């Protein structure tokens, strides 16, 4: 984790190059930073975009942003904890992020989200009482061609139906971590 002093423990450095290559969201985020010429004072804008894309900001993502903007990780972490509108990694063992961007929305993302909320008995932004699943939403995650998309534990799943999503999260609850 990133500490307030800006030090990071070894295991939570930024994402691997393979992960960055495989996940389109990093590319979109990079393009966004480029638009701001990687300026440090664009940090809040960049964090907003990252949250839009990923649904929350975990240590790995914060480190990636810190590196890209050449800022101390502790400063980036401090900003995310200062502003209430940023969500750090939720506490659920598993994380489900429903894309609610336009392409996904018109293809039924709202129905998927409602089905998940009913099944898990929580609202978006909450974690089940047993701590197994956190449910979040994001705006366009860069996978419009396979809408509606849902991200299960960091893996983007294409063309989801409410049934697909329910099956997936029920598996998590049933089998535990």
Query: Which residues of this chain interact with ligand FES, rule CB under 6 A?
Result: 99, 101-104, 140-144, 147, 149
* Between 44 and 106, CB nearer to ligand FES: 106
Distance CA 69, CA 31 (A): 13
* Nearest distance, CB of residue 105 and ligand FES, angstroms: 7
In this structure, is the dihedral angle defined by the CA atoms of residues 24, 113, 122 and 129, taken in order, positive or negative? negative
Is the bond leading into 109 cis (omega within 30 degrees of zero)? no
Nearest CA to 47 among 22, 81, 14? 81
Residue nearest ligand FES (C-beta atom): 101
* Nearest distance, CB of residue 77 and ligand FES, angstroms: 28
* Between 66 and 95, CB nearer to ligand FES: 95
* Between 90 and 101, CB nearer to ligand FES: 101
Nearest CA to 124 among 151, 97, 105, 106? 97
* Nearest distance, CB of residue 90 and ligand FES, angstroms: 20
* Between 52 and 59, CB nearer to ligand FES: 52
* Nearest distance, CB of residue 121 and ligand FES, angstroms: 25
């Amino acid at each position: 984790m990133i500490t307030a002093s800006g030090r990071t423990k070894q295991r939570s450095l930024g994402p691997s190059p393979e992960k960055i290559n495989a996940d389109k969201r990093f590319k979109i985020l990079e393009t966004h930073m480029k638009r701001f010429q990687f300026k440090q004072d664009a940090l809040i804008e960049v964090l907003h975009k990252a949250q839009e894309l990923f649904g929350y900001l975990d240590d790995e993502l914060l480190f990636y942003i810190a590196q890209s903007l050449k800022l101390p990780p502790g400063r980036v972490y401090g900003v995310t904890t200062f502003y209430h509108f940023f969500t750090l990694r939720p506490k659920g063992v598993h994380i489900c992020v429903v894309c609610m961007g336009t392409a996904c929305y018109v293809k039924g993302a709202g129905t998927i989200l409602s089905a998940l909320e009913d099944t898990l008995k929580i609202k978006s932004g909450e974690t089940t009482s047993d701590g197994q699943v956190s449910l979040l939403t994001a705006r366009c995650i860069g996978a419009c061609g396979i809408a509606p998309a849902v991200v299960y534990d960091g893996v983007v799943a294409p063309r989801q139906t409410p049934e697909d999503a329910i099956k997936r999260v029920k598996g998590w609850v049933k089998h535990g971590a």
